[in-house]
Amino acid sequence: MSELASCGLDCQACEYRTKNCPGCQASGGTLAWGECGLAKCCMSKKLEHCGKCDEFPCEKLKAFSFDKAHGDNGRRIENLRTAK
Protein backbone atom coordinates (compact mmCIF):
# COMPACT_ATOMS: atom_id res chain seq x y z
CA MET A 1 0.00 0.00 0.00
CA SER A 2 1.55 3.24 -1.08
CA GLU A 3 -0.26 5.82 1.04
CA LEU A 4 -2.59 5.34 3.96
CA ALA A 5 -5.15 7.87 5.15
CA SER A 6 -5.58 8.43 8.90
CA CYS A 7 -8.60 6.10 8.83
CA GLY A 8 -6.78 3.35 6.91
CA LEU A 9 -8.19 4.08 3.47
CA ASP A 10 -5.77 3.46 0.62
CA CYS A 11 -5.36 6.97 -0.76
CA GLN A 12 -4.38 5.68 -4.18
CA ALA A 13 -7.75 3.93 -4.49
CA CYS A 14 -9.76 6.94 -3.28
CA GLU A 15 -12.02 8.73 -5.77
CA TYR A 16 -11.04 12.10 -4.28
CA ARG A 17 -7.41 11.58 -5.29
CA THR A 18 -8.44 12.56 -8.82
CA LYS A 19 -9.87 15.79 -7.38
CA ASN A 20 -6.41 16.80 -6.15
CA CYS A 21 -6.99 15.88 -2.52
CA PRO A 22 -3.59 16.21 -0.81
CA GLY A 23 -4.43 13.65 1.89
CA CYS A 24 -5.40 13.84 5.55
CA GLN A 25 -2.31 15.25 7.14
CA ALA A 26 -1.41 17.66 4.33
CA SER A 27 -4.94 19.10 4.27
CA GLY A 28 -5.10 19.56 8.04
CA GLY A 29 -8.09 17.22 8.17
CA THR A 30 -10.20 19.29 5.78
CA LEU A 31 -10.41 17.12 2.69
CA ALA A 32 -11.99 17.53 -0.75
CA TRP A 33 -15.32 16.27 0.65
CA GLY A 34 -15.19 18.23 3.93
CA GLU A 35 -13.82 18.02 7.46
CA CYS A 36 -12.73 14.61 8.73
CA GLY A 37 -13.06 14.05 12.47
CA LEU A 38 -10.85 10.96 12.33
CA ALA A 39 -7.99 12.83 10.68
CA LYS A 40 -8.35 15.73 13.13
CA CYS A 41 -8.31 13.27 16.04
CA CYS A 42 -5.08 11.66 14.77
CA MET A 43 -3.45 15.04 14.31
CA SER A 44 -4.47 16.20 17.79
CA LYS A 45 -2.77 13.08 19.20
CA LYS A 46 0.21 13.54 16.85
CA LEU A 47 -0.40 10.11 15.31
CA GLU A 48 0.35 9.08 11.75
CA HIS A 49 -2.90 7.10 11.58
CA CYS A 50 -5.62 5.54 13.76
CA GLY A 51 -3.78 2.20 13.92
CA LYS A 52 -1.20 3.79 16.23
CA CYS A 53 -3.80 4.94 18.75
CA ASP A 54 -4.21 3.26 22.14
CA GLU A 55 -7.98 3.20 21.51
CA PHE A 56 -7.70 1.42 18.12
CA PRO A 57 -10.19 0.56 16.77
CA CYS A 58 -12.43 3.13 18.46
CA GLU A 59 -16.18 3.29 17.99
CA LYS A 60 -15.87 6.31 15.67
CA LEU A 61 -13.51 4.41 13.34
CA LYS A 62 -15.73 1.31 13.38
CA ALA A 63 -18.82 3.39 12.58
CA PHE A 64 -17.02 5.08 9.68
CA SER A 65 -15.60 1.82 8.33
CA PHE A 66 -18.94 0.01 8.43
CA ASP A 67 -21.11 2.95 7.31
CA LYS A 68 -23.59 1.69 4.69
CA ALA A 69 -23.06 4.64 2.34
CA HIS A 70 -19.32 5.32 2.68
CA GLY A 71 -17.78 2.40 4.53
CA ASP A 72 -15.74 -0.49 3.23
CA ASN A 73 -16.88 -3.31 5.52
CA GLY A 74 -13.85 -2.97 7.76
CA ARG A 75 -11.15 -3.09 5.07
CA ARG A 76 -9.58 0.14 6.31
CA ILE A 77 -9.35 -1.29 9.85
CA GLU A 78 -7.50 -4.31 8.47
CA ASN A 79 -5.19 -1.97 6.53
CA LEU A 80 -4.38 -0.22 9.81
CA ARG A 81 -3.73 -3.53 11.60
CA THR A 82 -1.25 -4.41 8.86
CA ALA A 83 0.41 -0.98 8.99
CA LYS A 84 0.79 -1.01 12.77
DSSP 13-30: G-GGGGGT---HHHHTTE
Could you state, in order of their start, the residue ranges of all structural domains in the chain? 11-83
CA torsion sign for 8, 78, 75, 66 is negative
Burial 69-80 (b: 16+ CB within 10 A, else e): eeebeeebbebb
- pTM of the shown model: 0.85
pLDDT of residue 2: 55
8-62 pLDDT per residue, tens: 998 888 877 777 788 888 889 988 778 999 999 999 999 999 999 999 999 999 9
d(CA 35, CA 41): 11
